[in-house]
Structure 1
Amino acid sequence: MPRGSSAKRERQYEHIKDSAEDRGASSKRAKEIAARTVNKERARSGESRTASRSSTKDMSSSKRGGQRSHSGPGGPTKEQLYNEARQRNIKGRSTMTKAELTKALGR
């Protein structure tokens, strides 16, 4: 957790980490899940200095509840697919639809 974070965020982090470990995630993975979730909530509520567009405009982590996990009902969002395509340096990604991005990424 970042220095100066509130007691509420500390409790939230511990709760999410413990829940992830109870579901069978490794300690390292549980910490990552908890940190990402708490940081997103901090960004949504204006507690962080910087925030990504997906952190502030997207539905909250608690409401989403795994709906967009990579194997969930809708799969990853178009923005998530686009970011992965950018990391892989796929040409023409900016004009691709979600389905085309999925195909180009080999999913």
Structure 2
Amino acid sequence: MPRGDKSSYTDKQKRQAAHIEQSEKKSGKSEKSAERIAWATVNKQDGGGKKSSSHSKSSHH
């Protein structure tokens, strides 16, 4: 999977990242910084991608 591919994220995570990005831009960050911070925050909260999604309770490793 190429770095920066957002397809493994849930719609909720994408909305959350977009929301964070907006507020970072309001506080004076550049588009690139805002996006990086937004996804870093989502990753930190959720561990990234669909690994810890509540939808897939059946697939335990």
User: TM-score category by the smaller chain?
Assistant: 0.5 to 0.7
Q: Which structure features the higher share of helix residues?
A: 1
Greater than 2 Å deviation, 4+ residue runs: none
Answer 1 or 2: higher relative contact order, Cα 8 Å, separation at least 6.
2
Identity %: 36
- Compute the TM-score of the two structures, normalised by the length of structure 2: 0.65
Q: 1:45-56 alignment to 2 at 5 Å?
A: 47=52
Alpha-carbon shift at residue 4 of structure 1 (Å): 2.5
* Counterpart for residue 46 of structure 2: 42
Task: Report the Cα distance in structure 2 between the residues aligned to 1:37 and 1:22, rounded to whole angstroms.
Answer: 17
SS of match in other structure, 1:28 = helix
- Compute the TM-score of the two structures, normalised by the length of structure 1: 0.39
- What's the C-alpha RMSD, in Å, of the aligned pairs? 2.1
Any unmatched runs of 5+ in structure 2?
54-61
Which of the numbers 23, 33, 53 marks the counterpart of 1:29? Answer: 33
Task: Report the Cα distance in structure 2 between the residues aligned to 1:26 and 1:2, rounded to whole angstroms.
Answer: 20
Q: 1:19-98 alignment to 2 at 5 Å?
A: 19-43=23-47, 47=52
Aligned length: 47
* Counterpart for residue 5 of structure 1: 9
| Counterpart residue identity of residue 30, structure 1 | A
Task: Report the Cα distance in structure 1 between the residues aligned to 2:6 and 2:31, rounded to whole angstroms.
Answer: 19
